[in-house]
Amino acid sequence: MFSAEYFIVSYDVYRFGSLTTEENHMTIDLNKYIRNVPDFPKPGINFKDVSPLLGDPRAFSFAVRTIKNEWAGKIDAIAGLDARGFIFGAALAFAMNIPFVMLRKKGKLPGDTVAVSYDLEYGKAVLEAEKDAFPLGSRVLIVDDLLATGGTAAAACEIVKRSGARVAGCAFIVELAALKGKAKLPGLKVQTLVTYEE
């Protein structure tokens, strides 16, 4: 059993935005925490795995605080993409004390939804948000772990617009620049923390 004192001390040390002055000014090379997995999920694909980053409290906190510092005072809500976008988006919403909205794959949300279909390499997919999830006119930041072709992020932006809110911009941990995902997000500010050119 852990004592209540343990939980209080742990929360104090690791909660986002409340670290020591030295830690708040610390710079971490996040590339060291991105694992390359060859031939996953299919041959020829080099999968960028953020699990090591999530497994290191200081690296995870640094990633969240870097995004927070860029968007503080500029957004009213965060929309996280299914599924790893939930992890970073929810942590960021907690750090910024603003609402978090899940953008989920089709059929995962109850009640009425706003849905947008988008193209995949083989076929189509659908992204959904609960109806009225975003206050009208609110400034929304789209968050995910990876920007590749940009199709999912573009669908997320369309959901926000159809919901009566505004897309303030997008933030990603990793960008695969060769796939030109930013081209599907014209006119938007896009923040990426680690960029791979090839």
User: Which tens digit of pLDDT belongs to each residue from 88-142?
Assistant: 999 999 999 999 999 999 999 999 999 999 987 667 999 999 999 999 999 999 9
121 among known catalytic residues: yes
Query: Domains of the chain, with CATH numbers?
Result: 4-196 (3.40.50.2020)
Q: What is the pLDDT of residue 22?
A: 52
Q: What confidence score (pLDDT) does residue 4 get?
A: 38
Question: What pLDDT does 146 receive?
Answer: 97
**1 or 194, which is more confident:** 194
Active-site residue, from 65, 84, 104, 139:
84
Q: Whole-model pTM above 0.85?
A: yes
Identify the band that residue 21 occupies on the pLDDT scale cut at 50, 70 and 90.
very low
pLDDT 10s digits, 57-93: 999 999 999 999 999 999 999 999 999 999 999 999 9
DSSP H or E segment with residue 168: strand 166-176
Contact between 165 and 144 under an 8 Å Cβ cutoff? The reply is no
In the annotation, is 175 catalytic?
no
Res 26: pLDDT: 75
Q: Which of 15, 23, 70, 121 is catalytic?
A: 121
